[in-house]
Structure 1
């Protein structure tokens, strides 16, 4: 019996990973204690998703209501499955840089200390396992905002002659810039994952993701940009654009494309603490204004929004991932979802559920 251990198993990426690896024939142990509800209220709960996984995959899926901050709990889990764990997918996090300001201790204990607990448990109990961490582009802080931008009608764009015209590479510095507390805690975790790979020669991977999206995300105001935006459109909830004239650009990657990247890594893992930028790249990206227009086109409803000049602290004006390094190492991986595909799926999968809430 080969076991895949997934933290944040009821979240967007975690639940997609659970289903994918079960379909590949693995047993999956999921860790999720629904802290998302504590972060974002009832609207952010993932209980509905964990209950679905337990019901549908009861023979192959074991769900554990454990806290990654609790070293004792984590060691107990790893000790029980130590002979069988072949892959650890770590998606559990406090995911909002706005929320982190409210409680920096909790933010850091989840993002940094929780990651350390998992890495140490792997070192003790299953050092040959593959460890994949969903990091974030926020580890670069506001460094991307120093790039030369050109203002267009509905978006900011990077100067066409700049070295990052095809997206931001992994060689961008993470030093001497403003990160936000969330960005700092995720960077601490990111570096730990790298260090366990390099110091112990483990198979660890930090994937610095852009906007993660998909139909099963519980989008809320502080996290889950695409889902929350479309939900606001469907339910006529006023949406507030925060700064940059609404022209700030994000690349968006579908959860299915992320999981296929995980699988490519697992099939051919590299040692030494690899780092990859992983997002929609030039294939799938959008500004806020463009997202509003696309949502209106898909839903057939007028969007209700207001504008505030106050941008989020450390927020990016423009961020598109350069995927070249990952694709060079894993040439069989290609993005399958466009931004239009993602918006269509979110709307068609959730419109009835949202309207019944």
Structure 2
């Protein structure tokens, strides 16, 4: 994304009429550690892509995948959050997404051939997610405890703050939303992609402990607690639903699927 010439060659080779832009640096702790890198990739890379598509002089549908992290901490009265809510980014990652969104919407307004749409997915989960993220991380820790050869060891896992809430959604439902927005989304508009259901991190952990059938003790690890953490997050999905979308997989079923996949693929 940062290599303009390589990206230019890619556009010339493929001559796309539809682009799903998911490329970026998406891990918040890394963004806090190296904000310049995150800015270069998420904003500079997006601008490179937009400019190359503009110069192609073709009609292109362009879906930018932003993040609900842009909303920041919200008052209870503002939840579930709607797309019209003013972003209040809390960290370099969400700041970079707001900036990239702004460029996408600007290009949509100023270039008739570039039909840019912005999506704001909340917390999507599914098989194959990097183990740095909360759901696969908890799964692996619990299964390591369950399968430990030394049964004398305390059945503990390391956790951060379990009180924040998130709006989790199965990745398959997210993909279906992306496809629908590419087909039917309005140019220059923003769409939340979310379940509309608020779930505590502690509830996610309790489900996994239930699946494991073992009593697990969560132990707070200060290094896992973020200084700029959203306390609550849940979105309003009525705008996306108006296009005909609806989530099909419950959060608990999604967590169960991930847990069973990791158990069978890594611990059997």
Q: TM-score, normalised by structure 1?
A: 0.67
CA distance in 2, matches of 1:333, 1:102: 37
- Provide the residue aligned with 1:134 in structure 2: 65
Contact 1:203 1:269 in 2 (8 A): no
Q: Describe the superposition over 1:82-117 as per-residue Cα deviations: whole angstroms up to 9, x where unpaired.
A: 1xx121111111112211122122111111111111
Q: Partner of 1:239: helix, strand, or coil?
A: strand
How far apart are residue 257 of structure 1 and its match? 0.7
Note the residue ranges of structure 2 that are not aligned, 5 or more in a row: 146-155
Note the aligned Cα RMSD (angstroms).
2.0
Q: Partner of 1:261: helix, strand, or coil?
A: helix
Match of 2:190 among 260, 275, 293: 275
Q: Describe the superposition over 1:254-284 as per-residue Cα deviations: whole angstroms up to 9, x where unpaired.
A: 111111112212222422x2111112212xx
Structure having greater relative contact order (Cα 8 Å, sep ≥ 6) = 2
How far apart are residue 252 of structure 1 and its match? 0.7
Q: What are the within-5 Å matches in structure 2 for residues 192-341 of structure 1? A: 192-201=103-112, 202-220=114-132, 224-236=133-145, 238-242=157-161, 246-271=162-187, 273-282=188-197, 285-307=198-220, 311-328=225-242, 330=243, 332-341=244-253
CA separation of 1:296 and 1:108: change in aligned 2, threshold 3 A:
same
Note the residue ranges of structure 1 that are not aligned, 5 or more in a row: 1-67, 149-161
CA separation of 1:350 and 1:121: change in aligned 2, threshold 3 A:
same
Contact 1:130 1:269 in 2 (8 A): no
CA distance in 1, matches of 2:57, 2:138: 41
- Provide the residue aligned with 2:151 in structure 1: none
CA separation of 1:303 and 1:133: change in aligned 2, threshold 3 A:
farther
How far apart are residue 352 of structure 1 and its match? 2.7
Q: What are the within-5 Å matches in structure 2 for residues 83-162 of structure 1? A: 85-125=16-56, 127-142=58-73, 144=74, 147-148=75-76, 162=77
Q: Describe the superposition over 1:294-339 as per-residue Cα deviations: whole angstroms up to 9, x where unpaired.
A: 11112223334212578423311110011011212x1x21101101
Q: TM-score, normalised by structure 2?
A: 0.88
Q: What are the within-5 Å matches in structure 2 for residues 147-186 of structure 1? A: 147-148=75-76, 162=77, 164=79, 167-174=80-87, 177=88, 179-186=90-97
Contact 1:241 1:288 in 2 (8 A): no
Q: Partner of 2:160: helix, strand, or coil?
A: strand
Q: What are the within-5 Å matches in structure 2 for residues 36-75 of structure 1? A: 68-75=1-8
